[in-house]
Amino acid sequence: MKLMSFVLTLIFVSQAWAEGTAFIPNYYRNRRFTNSYAAIGWSDRHEAGLYLTQENTKNKTGGTVDDKYDDFEINPYIYHRFENGVSTELSIDMADGDYELSSITGKFDHEEQNIIGNIGYEFDQQPIAIGFTFGNAKEEFSRGTFTSERKAKTVGGGIGYRLDSNVYVGAGISNINFEATGSEDLSIDIFNLGIGKVYGDRKNPDAATELIFSGTNESGTKRQALNALGLINRGPIQYTAQAGLSYLDGISRDGMGLEVGAGFDYQFPQGVYVGPQLIAEMIQYNNDDKDTDLTLSVEGGYRVNKVELFVRINLADNKEKPDSGSKETEEQREVILGINSRF
């Protein structure tokens, strides 16, 4: 579970809070994750920040705790757009903690570093933007003289075009090479097509939507997905929503997935704001296995001038029900403290 989460984080760079965009400019109020593909070039973000995360995870089988993971993460980031149309994004994630496995006595030390660098460009004479992503991640487990290491390298790029009607179209491709001690190397290819529209002023729109088709090939397991996400700005409130359908063509089993989510960000006149979000996911496999994920997030903070202070709580529950009927669950709890400045 943790291994797959590590890989998917590199692919989608998403969690249960406002994320980066792929082919349209990023208008989300909490835009702390890096963008991808053409959205890097469209970006006009001038922002630097730091957030600290305490993560606690428990894996259970039949109600009995099997494994426990505790991590503390430090994540500085900086985004900047230069006057010549070049946009840059840099995010560094460093984690340190320990793991307890029911099958082994004692704790494992855990360290993780994840660096994502983006560079994009918006052409001056043409409504075209390009973006490139470079990522390097390393995860290490150690106990005494034992050490297990996992590495991943990500390379990606995309291009987008803006029509006169504020409709954006684009395409992007990326690859992740994954290495792990004692395992065969893994290569993941991802292809994306997107279309989006911005309603109203491009700098401060009334609404923005994006529709993305993605295809992933992971060592014979293929996944196709169609995801829609968007926002509506109404005075002090920003409403957000997302939905997705996916099909998994696996070596041992196939499956269909559904994802829905919604949230809002309300800012009071005094600068205090609050923003809850709920995301639900379900995958049904053809052998009657089923995975479900439910994530509830609540964020609150204070925005004054160009500085923002916030605290966020993420409560996530994953349930896997194999055909054998022995239910497996994962409970993840995160508390995030952060500060950012927009310049």
- What is the CATH classification number for the domain harbouring 151? 2.40.160
* CA 202-117-304 angle, 5° bins: 50
pTM, two decimal places = 0.87
Domains identified in the chain, total number: 1
Residue corresponding to tokens 């496995």: 101
pLDDT of residue 101: 76
Residue corresponding to tokens 């428990």: 58
Task: Measure CA 192 to chain center.
Answer: 16
Phi and psi angles of residue 72, each rounded to the nearest 5 degrees, phi first = -120, 125
Residue corresponding to tokens 């055909």: 323
Closest of 139, 225, 160, 141 to residue 190, by C-alpha: 225
pLDDT of residue 94: 96
Range 122-146 average pLDDT? 92
143 or 321, higher pLDDT: 143
57 or 121, higher pLDDT: 121
Integer Cα distance of 274 and 270 in angstroms: 12
Query: Residue 275 burial (CB < 10 Å; 0-12/13-18/19+)?
Result: buried
CA distances from 323 to 10, 197, 304, 327 (A): 30, 43, 53, 9
Helix (H) or strand (E) holding 4: helix 2-12
Q: Which domain holds residue 145?
A: 2-342
pLDDT of residue 1: 39
**pLDDT confidence of 18, banded at 50, 70, 90?**
very low
Phi and psi angles of residue 41, each rounded to the nearest 5 degrees, phi first = -70, -35
Residue corresponding to tokens 């995160």: 334
319 or 274, higher pLDDT: 274
Task: Measure CA 255 to chain center.
Answer: 22
Average pLDDT, the chain: 88
Interacting residues of 111 by C-beta distance below 8 A, sequence separation 6+ = 95, 96, 139, 140, 142
